[in-house]
Amino acid sequence: MKLDWSHTVLNIKDKDKILDFYTKTLGFKVSDSGPIYKDGPEIIFVSWNPDEHHQLAFVLGREDINSTSLNHISFRADTYDELQEIKDRLDTVNCDYLPLCHGNALSFYFNDPENNGMEIFIDTPWDVEQPQGEVWDPGLDEKSVMEWVENTFKDKPGFVLKEKSTKKFVNR
């Protein structure tokens, strides 16, 4: 098994300042944005790499400038079996996790022993406009879980097989 670095999500206070810096100064492009869940805070995804939906994302609503800005760090696993292995490892140490599917990924969200947020995920075959989030059942086998993903997200905007996807960035 191996885990590849994927992205970091930060909690932010000032959207305009942050986006100006990351897009105008550093050249990142916005790939998607929207409420993280119904009536929830906005999340803005940015990337330099058209093949990586987001290398960074920002969640609005960091209350206290002295609190940590880290929302979560994220690693990509290669296969569903590896994702199941991660689940087994977390179970072994009684680490709670939230299985969340973004349509384009199947993820486990959890905290390290010092409460730093983490995500480990695999890609699904599809792209779909973000943000999206539905709890998925890790007890399903790979075929069943992929059928569930397709059925759950196929009517969402921008749902398309990744190999046919043309949308990379939204203009800002």
Euclidean distance between CA atoms 103 and 112, whole angstroms: 25
Residue 129 CA to residue 3 CA, distance in Å, equals: 25
Q: Which is nearer to Fe ion, 59 or 145 (CB)?
A: 59
CA nearest to 168, candidates 76, 75, 55, 26: 55
CB of 4 to Fe ion, least distance (A): 13
The alpha carbon torsion through 139, 144, 146, 150 (nearest 10 deg) reads -120
Q: How far is 60 from 107, CA to CA, in rounded Å? A: 22
- What does the per-residue mask of binding to Fe ion show for 113-152, with x meaning CB under 5 A? ------x---------------------------------
* Closest separation in Å from C-beta 72 to Fe ion: 6
Q: In the complex with Fe ion, which residue's Cβ is closer, 119 or 129?
A: 119
Amino acid at the residue 166? T
Residue 6 C-beta: closest distance to Fe ion, Å: 7
The reply on whether position 74 binds Fe ion by CB under 5 A is yes
Pick the closer one to Fe ion by CB: 31 or 144: 31
Q: How far apart are CA 162 and CA 50, in angstroms?
A: 12
- Residue 15: both structure tokens together: 């959207």
| In the complex, least distance from residue 133 CB atom to Fe ion, rounded to whole angstroms | 10
Binding of residue 32 to Fe ion (CB under 5 A) = no
Shortest Å distance, C-beta 7 to Fe ion:
6
Other beta carbons within 10 Å of 119: 23
| 19/59 with CB nearer Fe ion | 59
Q: Which residues bind Fe ion (CB under 5 A)?
A: 74, 119
